[in-house]
Chain A
Amino acid sequence: MITLTVNGARRTFDGDPTMPLLWFLRDELALTGTKYGCGVAQCGSCTVHVAGKPVRSCQALMSELQDATVTTIEGLHPTGEHPLQVAWREIDVPQCGFCQPGQIMQAAGLLQRKPKPTDEDIDAAMNGHICRCGTYPRIRAAIKAAAEKSP
């Protein structure tokens, strides 16, 4: 039996220990904001925070997550008003929207580490994410807008 915390709530899991966190979140907890896009750490759609850092949930096995603290897009901010979420809406970043939870979780990790990221910081942090709709220029702008507003 594996016990972990997801968005502040204690959760248990006693299924296949090789199951990636992604499917536990989606299929068992119905936290479907975390998306499956590739399953092989290529697209970033499945990004969540484990212990406050961005992690590809398709690669994090349940067997490794005893006592872990997981935050998903649903738990990023109690009312969905994280500065990045606000900036994303002000700049109208999403097209289909599918990749955006992963992008936002990655960007949140970046801003925590680097409150004022440079272009190179943004490229380095975000290059592991694919947006097939091509919202990269707006993602970049939204990260900068959120960073500017932070003290």
Chain B
Amino acid sequence: MSANEFLPWVRRAVAPHAPADEPTSLDATRDSTDQPQDLQRRTLIQLLGLGGLVIAFGAGGVRRLEAAELAAGTAANPWSPHVYVRVADDGIVTIVCHRSEMGQGIRTTMPMIIADEMEADWARCRVEQAVGDPKYGSQNTDGSTSIRDFLQKYREAGATTRALLEAAAAREWNVDAADVFARQHEVVHRPTGRTKSFGALVETARTVAMPAPESVRIKRPEERRWQGKRMPSIDLVPMTTGTAVYGADLTLPGMKFAAIARPPVWGGKAMAVDDTEARKVPGVERIVRIPETPIPGAFLPLGGVAVIARNTWAAFRGRDALKITWDAGPNGSHDSKTYQAALETSIRAPGKPGRTNGDVAAALAAAQRKVSAEYHIPYLSHAQMEPMAAIARVRDGKVEAWAPTQSPNDARNTIADYLKVDKASVTVNVTLLGGAFGRKSKPDFICEAAYLARETGAPVRVQWSREDDLRHSYYHSVAAHRFEAALDDAGKVTAWLHRSAYPSISATFAPNLAGPTPDELTNGASDVPWDVPNMSVEVCPAVAHARIGWYRSVNAIHHGFAIGSFVDELAHAAGKDTAAFLLELIGPDRKVDLSKAGLVDSGETYYGAPWAEQPLDTARARRVVESVQQRSGWDTPLPRGRGRGIAVHRSFLSYVAMVVEVEVKPDGTVLVPRATVAVDAGFVANPDRVKAQMEGALIMGMSNTLYSGITFAEGKVEQSNYDDYRVARMRASPHVVDVHVVESEGSPGGIGEPGVPPAGAAIANAIFAATGVRVRELPVGRQLEGWETRASDKGHAVAG
């Protein structure tokens, strides 16, 4: 029995709703449930063997898979195509989505681009989720890369498929190829108006000559049907009816349920386990030790003690009844307060430069006016709504897993390493992800399921509790920042010294790391778009005592908050309006290859792109600032207790500016009634999903700034659930988020992450405008209690 029968999204109709501007087709609601069982079970890769026209796109360009390869089915393709499109004889188009869906909409946007270029009828398209396999190239859904790396490839794959179908029609009719064109799932002969459906052309399309790549015509902007317009998600019906399948939603025959007690301190170990009480819990079947992984441990499980049970509740109760004596290991004294003091010491001494322009020391020494400030940002956890869960089965030497993973390839490789089996015997199926934000790029939880499935001989579903999630995350780095700047008589910045200290993500992979490397500064600190003659941006040492990972926008979270806050402090010190000051700081329009303009040890590429191809374009930064300045009513006054803050940031090759309006209640509660956002991300395929990402990033920025913080005492995380790891809720969240998506044909930038970095600073700056209280330590928490009776921090910055 294939487990794919449990996967209802396989070959589901792609368009339960018609796109915004298109009529609903009668076909549109047809679902896979109409299909005979045996067909439902077959994935595209199996279908390849059944014929049809199959197009794949890889490093070597677009290719048609020939009959022999089709017959071989899963034939290894050494050229690793990423994208597969199949047109079947009945005209049904199946597109394999090689990236994971976690709320960003890739399962809609990616097939929509291909279908648009193909001139396919959206209602006759199906999406299949790819399993983890090197044949799909990098499937790592991370770093806001899916559209920016693949837009052109999706277009070429779609356009090539269209060209083949057009060529097939020309041959069948024996007419001039210039006289035929594809239109909504058929090819039309212009002079006579004759038509032939895609399905009827498949056989011939398999044998006509492949078009030369340069002859394949990508649609001109005015020919696009859906690209650049709103396209509703293909998963809306399952998501609103409870049938969408996430990590814990599948059940395999004979499946067991597991909960795991993991070492409370990173690098700790269970010394003694008393499971007497745990075994008495009804439904508990077995206790299994999972060996602790020595730190740093990378993507491997932490280890601990697993309770195997007949249902999740029994597993949780059994786990809670375990009595374990832990040895804390080397991080048993990690304490957030002491650590903050250590970071503070670190940033007060020169660090490793990541950017040097002019002579900062001399400029600061000569300056009439100096401003300095320090900022602290705590550890953060992703706290995505779906706690980690994974299912695995080990049978006949083969491992199969089902998991909400951002990176099924990494999961596959890590499972193979962990269980010491051949990669080829590991299959990782990707479910929907109930939020991920970087956490689910780490397959530790999938390895746990695979290990327990092998140990018990039964399929196992591992369920993490919310407490597990918050206590055993890959945390966003705790960070400290220090700035010193000089202002000339005109209030212009002449020197910018920025130092930061935070444990590096690399510490999760390499032991004994002293701190971050200068290239980490290119994630939104050394690449600031400022026009300042003397700059030094430095990283200072910080040793990791917790598992560090990446969380939506990564270092740009703390870089963006600190930089954007300090700019506001500088503007006030200079006696200028912050929006005007920002525009002055950005300076004249120019394009700068930063790798040649002062960056030191900045690495080969910038967000994976060659530096020269992604110059800093200050006009783009200027335009997004002007956009929010104009649309937010920036110059209209607000009463005390309400205020606006502005910030701009560039990360993942996109430029985002925000004006956030806050209302601070007398008890210090902060509400964010409205926000104005402008984003220049180059070409945008699905603008409504971009807007949604900006709304979500702003609200996540509210969480990061106002509420959330992970702290450690005696090496253990002090928070346990959403009551003490607080996140934004409805009442405080905006009623209006006005998002301006800049129209552009430019190369696409990231969308999932770049909205987060400016949000924190814009909120903190708005709080200052509303209350006169400067936020230099996150989260805001209760810092604003009694603000009405406090003296304003206006014009004041930390001396030093």
Contact = CB atoms under 8 A, between A and B. Distances in A.
Interface of A: 15-16, 18-20, 23, 26-28, 30-40, 42-43, 45, 72-74, 76, 80, 85, 88-89, 92-101, 104, 119, 122-123, 126-140
Contacts of A139: 730
Interface in B235-255: 235-246, 248-249, 251
Contacts of A80: 237, 240-241
22 contacts: A32-B249, A34-B242, A35-B246, A40-B723, A42-B722, A80-B240, A89-B232, A89-B240, A92-B230, A95-B103, A96-B385, A96-B432, A130-B722, A130-B727, A130-B729, A131-B385, A134-B696, A134-B700, A136-B733, A137-B733, A137-B734, A137-B735
A137 B385 contact: no
A26 B243 contact: no
B718 interface: no
B314 interface: yes
Contacts of B434: 35, 96-99
B240 A94 contact: yes
Contacts of A34: 242
Contact of A33 (B235, B242, B465, B730): B242
A97 B242 CA distance: 9
B242 A134 contact: no
Nearest to B236: A89
Contact of B385 (A26, A28, A98, A128): A98
A132 B235 contact: no
A15 B311 contact: yes
Contacts of A28: 311
Chain A CB within 10 A, most for which of B466, B697, B698? B466
Contact of B435 (A33, A38, A92, A132): A132
Contact of B236 (A40, A88, A123): A88
B336 to A, nearest CB: 23
Interface in B375-434: 382-387, 432-434
A88 B235 CA distance: 12
Contacts of B103: 94-97, 133
A40 B101 CA distance: 27
A138 B236 contact: no
Contacts of A36: 248, 312, 387, 463
A26 B384 contact: no
B519 to A, nearest CB: 30
A98 B733 CA distance: 19
Contacts of B245: 32
Interface in B213-250: 230, 232-233, 235-246, 248-249
A134 B695 contact: yes
Contact of B248 (A26, A31, A119): A26
A18 to B, nearest CB: 8
Given A127-B730, A136-B728, 16 more contacts: A16-B313, A27-B311, A27-B312, A28-B311, A39-B465, A40-B721, A42-B721, A42-B722, A92-B688, A94-B240, A95-B696, A97-B240, A98-B385, A98-B386, A137-B695, A140-B735
Nearest to A32: B249
Interface string B242-281: 1111101101000001000000000000000000000001
A36 B313 CA distance: 11
B283 interface: yes
Given A96-B102, A132-B385, A137-B733, A20 B313 contact: yes
A138 B730 contact: no
Interface residues of B, number: 72
Nearest to A31: B242
A26 B733 contact: no
B28 interface: no
B97 interface: no
Interface of B: 17, 101-105, 230, 232-233, 235-246, 248-249, 251, 257, 281-283, 311-314, 316-317, 382-387, 432-437, 463, 465-466, 688, 692-693, 695-700, 703, 721-723, 727-731, 733-737
B404 to A, nearest CB: 9
A127 B386 contact: no
A133 B463 CA distance: 21
Given A42-B721, A94-B233, A100 B239 contact: yes
Q: Which 6 pairs, one residue from A and one from B, show the smallest C-beta to C-beta distance?
A: A33-B242, A134-B699, A98-B434, A95-B103, A97-B239, A96-B103
A89 B17 contact: yes
A16 B282 contact: yes
Chain B CB within 10 A, most for which of A19, A30, A88? A19
Contacts of B723: 40, 42
Nearest to A75: B242
Contact of A96 (B232, B248, B433): B433
A92 B233 contact: yes
A128 B722 CA distance: 11
A92 B232 contact: yes
B242 A32 contact: yes
Contacts of A43: 385, 466, 722
B259 to A, nearest CB: 11
A51 to B, nearest CB: 20
Nearest to A92: B232
Contacts of A129: 729-730
A120 to B, nearest CB: 9
Contacts of B238: 97
A39 B727 CA distance: 16
Contact of B237 (A27, A30, A89): A89
B236 A132 contact: no
A79 B435 CA distance: 27
A97 to B, nearest CB: 3
A21 to B, nearest CB: 10
A95 B730 contact: no
A104 B239 CA distance: 11
A95 B696 CA distance: 9
B313 A35 contact: no
A125 to B, nearest CB: 9
